[in-house]
Amino acid sequence: MDVNLLRLHVKMLLEAIVVCVLIILITTAYFHKSCWYCQLQYYYIGLVYHLHDIFNIKNNKINLVSMPDKIAIVTGGSRGIGVEVVKKLLQCDMEVIVACRTPSAGEKIISEIRKSGITNGRAKIYKIDNSSFDSVRQFAEQIKRNYNKIHILINNAAIMFPSVYQKTEDGYEEQWAINYLSHFLLTSLLLPLLKNGGHPNDCSRIINVTSCAHDVGKIDFDYISNNSKKTFCTYSSYGQSKLAQTMSTITMQRLFANMSLNVLVYSVHPGIVKTDLFKETILGNKKWAMAAWKTSDQGATSIIYAAINKDIEKKGGIFISNCIELTVPLLAHDERVQKRLFELSLEQVQLKDFFQYL
C-alpha cells in the first residue's frame, strides 16, 4: 500500500476516534445534566437485581409462626408492599399498628384483609404523615401513651422519583425527608419502647426498607444541607435517601451494641416489585414491562424475614434481599461519612442526642 495513502487512512481513523470520544463525552454530559445519566444507572442496577430476584426466588420464603405477644409498627402500611407486610404480621397473630397518612385508607385495608379470611392478629390504625416532623412526633407520643413496649418497627413509608421538586414543611426535599429523616426521628422517639421490648435472646428489631438504589447513591452533603432546587435530580435524590437508610442501619447497630441494647437493625431491599411507586417513571403505564417483576406479596417476604427469622438474631446491621445477606456499597461502611451523616441528621430533625429519650 502507498505510504501516503496509509497515513491518510490512519489520520481518518484517528479523527473518527476523536469524534466518537467527543460524542460520548458530550452525550454523557447531557445525560448527566438532564438526569438521563442517573436513569441509565437505575436501568442497569434494576436489571442486575431483577436477575437476582429470578435466580434466588427459591430463597425468598419465610414460615409465619405464631407470635401473639409481639407488637409491630408498619409505616406506610395502607398501600403497596406495606399492606402485604401488615397481612403477614397479622397471620403471625401479632398486634399490628398500621401507621398511615390517611386512617380511612388503613381501615379499608384491614377490612379487606379480614374479608380475605385472615382473622387472627389485632390491627390498630394510627395517623402519621412522614412529610411532617410534627406529625411523626405526635404519632410517637400517641404510641407512648398507649403502649409501654414495641417489638418490631418497620420503617417502610416512601416516595420515589417525584416529577417536580418539592420541600416539606420542615424545609427538606421530600424524598430525603420522608424516606430517611422521618424514620431516623421516629426510631429515636420510639427507642425507649423498643428497648423495653427486647431481651438478650429475643431482641427488638428495626427494619429499614431501603432499595438497591443505594448502589448508585451518593451522600452529597452540600446538597443535603442547602436543599437547592437548582441541583435537584429526582433519581440521585432517591438513591441518596436509600443509601442514607442503609448507612444509618450500620451506624445504629454499632451504637446499640456499644450500649448493650437488645435492639437489632436491618436494612432490606424488597426486590424489583410492581407497585405504584413507579407511577412517576416511564414504566408507570407499561404493565407489560413489569410482568416478570415480584408481586407485593413476594416483596414483603424479605421484610418479614428480617422481622422474625431466628437465624439472624445475632447478625444486626446486615442488608437483606430475597431472605439472604448481600453486600452493601463500600461507601456505606465509611465511618467518617457515617459520623458526618449521623450528626447532620440529628441537626436536621432537631435532636440533641439520638438516645435522649432513653
Would you please indicate which residues are annotated as catalytic (active-site) residues? 238
Q: Are strands 324-326 and 319-321 parallel, antiparallel or unpaired?
A: antiparallel
- To which H or E segment does residue 288 belong? none
The sign of the dihedral angle between the CA atoms of 69, 114, 155, 41 is: positive
Question: CB under 8 Å to 142, separation ≥6 — which residues?
Answer: 126
* DSSP string for 75-118: ETTTSHHHHHHHHHHHHTT-EEEEEES-HHHHHHHHHHHHHTT-
Residue 158 grid coordinates: 416512601
The sheet carrying 122-127 orders its strands as 122-127, 95-100, 71-75, 152-155, 204-209, 263-268, 319-321, 324-326
How far is 180 from 72, CA to CA, in rounded Å?
A: 19
Q: In angstroms, how far apart are the furthest CA atoms of the chain? A: 92
